[in-house]
């Protein structure tokens, strides 16, 4: 298992587009794994979430599907590896979207209020099943955030 930083912001620094408590913004990143060797249990840190940020929703969109037999991914964070979305299909057709399910995924509460990150963390993708993958997926990951700092 490897931890791979794809946040483009260094070790969990988190980048907000502007300052000001209560501001709502979307963080997003395109993760291109088409040339990467995919190994089961690899953790890709995708979005650096700053301290005192409430994440309301997290989603992914497949741009280019993985090539191979099976690729299943979880979307979560350091405290709940499948907290935002469990069992995302990395081989799904292009433009397939996947969202957290309120009341089902640990970080997506039944009321839809999201999760407050009191300390900096990252939204991660964890490869849970990788069978005969010759090329990984290219996907977009995004989070709807509120700044409470």
Which pLDDT does position 15 carry in this prediction? Answer: 54
Which pLDDT does position 39 carry in this prediction? Answer: 87
Q: What are the structural domains, with CATH classification, of the chain?
A: 3-10+21-147 (2.60.120)
Order of strands, sheet of 85-89, starting from the edge strand that comes earlier in the sequence: 3-5, 43-49, 121-131, 70-76, 85-89
Confidence label for 18 from pLDDT (cuts 50, 70 and 90): low
Q: What does the pLDDT average to over 85-102?
A: 90
H/E/C letters for each residue in 26-83?
A: EEEEEEECCCCCCCCCCEEEEEEECCCEEEEEEEEEEEECCECCEEEEEEECCCCCCC
Which pLDDT does position 16 carry in this prediction? Answer: 56
Q: What percent of the chain has pLDDT over 90?
A: 64
- Higher model confidence: residue 64 or residue 101? 64
pLDDT at 46 over 90: yes
Q: What does the pLDDT average to over 102-117?
A: 80
Give me the chain's average pLDDT, please: 86
pTM of the model: 0.85
Which pLDDT does position 23 carry in this prediction? Answer: 85
Lowest mean pLDDT among 91-95, 98-102, 132-136: 98-102
């Amino acid at each position: 298992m490897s931890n791979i930083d794809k946040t483009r912001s260094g070790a969990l620094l988190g980048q907000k587009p502007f300052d000001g408590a209560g501001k709502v913004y979307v963080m997003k990143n395109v993760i291109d794994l088409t040339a990467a060797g995919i190994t089961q249990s690899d953790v890709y840190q995708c979005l650096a979430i700053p301290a005192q940020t409430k994440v309301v929703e997290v989603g992914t969109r497949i741009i280019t599907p993985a090539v191979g037999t099976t690729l299943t991914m979880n979307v979560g964070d350091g405290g709940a590896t499948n907290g935002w979305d469990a069992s995302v299909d990395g081989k799904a057709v292009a433009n397939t979207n996947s969202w957290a399910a309120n009341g089902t995924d640990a970080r997506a509460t039944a009321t839809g209020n999201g999760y407050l990150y009191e300390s900096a963390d990252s939204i991660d993708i964890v490869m849970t099943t990788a069978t005969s993958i010759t090329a990984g997926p290219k996907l977009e990951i995004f989070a709807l955030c509120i700044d409470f700092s």
